[in-house]
Amino acid sequence: MPLDKFGQLWATARTAVEREIGESSFQSWIEPMELVDVNQGVASFSVPTEFIGSYVSRNFDDKIIHCLRSLEPSVVRIAFCVRSTAAPTAPKVQPEVAPSDTSKQSRQWRERFTFENFVVGKSNQLAYSAARRVAEAGPLPFNPLFLYGGSGLGKTHLMKAIVCEVEKNHPHLNVMYLDAQEYMIQFIQSIRNKDTLAFKKLFRSADMLIVDDVQFLAGKDTTQEEFFHLFNALIDQGKQIVMSSDKSPGEIERLENRIVSRLQSGLVADVHPTDYELRLGILQSKVERMRMTMPDLQIEHKVLEFIAHRISTNVRALEGALYRIQAHYSLIRRPITMDIARDALIDFVRAADKRVNVEDILRKVTDHYNIRMSDMVGPRRHRSIARPRQIAMYLCKELTSKSYPEIGRAFGGRDHTTVMHGIKQVTKLLETDNDIQQDVKMLMRALEE
Q: Which residues bind ligand ADP (CB under 6 A)?
A: 113, 117-119, 124, 151-157, 282, 315-316, 319
> Which of 204, 103, 207, 218 has its CA nearest to residue 163?
207
Query: What part of residues 144-163 is at the interface with Mg ion (CB under 5 A)?
Result: 155-156
Q: Which is nearer to Mg ion, 320 or 422 (CB)?
A: 320
Q: Which is nearer to ligand ADP, 275 or 360 (CB)?
A: 275
Q: How far apart are CA 191 and CA 214, in angstroms?
A: 20
CB 223 within 8 A of CB 184: yes
Q: Which is nearer to Mg ion, 278 or 443 (CB)?
A: 278
- With CB under 5 to 8 Å by kind, the binding choice for 151 among Mg ion, ligand ADP, none is ligand ADP
Burial class of residue 112 (count of CB atoms within 10 Å of its CB; 0-12, 13-18, 19+): middle
Helix (H) or strand (E) run with residue 443 in it: helix 434-448
**By CB under 5 A, residue 400 contacts Mg ion:** no
Q: How far apart are CA 101 and CA 37, in angstroms?
A: 8
- 314 contact partners, CB below 8 Å, separation of at least 6: 150, 151, 152, 153, 274
Q: Which is nearer to ligand ADP, 72 or 319 (CB)?
A: 319
- With CB under 5 to 8 Å by kind, the binding choice for 85 among Mg ion, ligand ADP, none is none
Q: How far apart are CA 342 and CA 327, in angstroms?
A: 14
To ligand ADP, the closest distance from the beta carbon of 105 in angstroms equals 14
To ligand ADP, the closest distance from the beta carbon of 282 in angstroms equals 5
Q: Which is nearer to Mg ion, 315 or 376 (CB)?
A: 315
To Mg ion, the closest distance from the beta carbon of 268 in angstroms equals 17
- With CB under 5 to 8 Å by kind, the binding choice for 393 among Mg ion, ligand ADP, none is none
**Three-class SS state of 47:** strand
To Mg ion, the closest distance from the beta carbon of 309 in angstroms equals 25
Chain residue at closest Cβ approach to ligand ADP: 154
For 388-424, b/e burial (b = at least 16 CB within 10 A) is: bbbbbbbbbbbbbebebeebbbbbeebeeebbeebbe
Q: Which is nearer to ligand ADP, 104 or 380 (CB)?
A: 104
| Residues at the site binding Mg ion, with contacts judged by CB under 5 A | 155-156
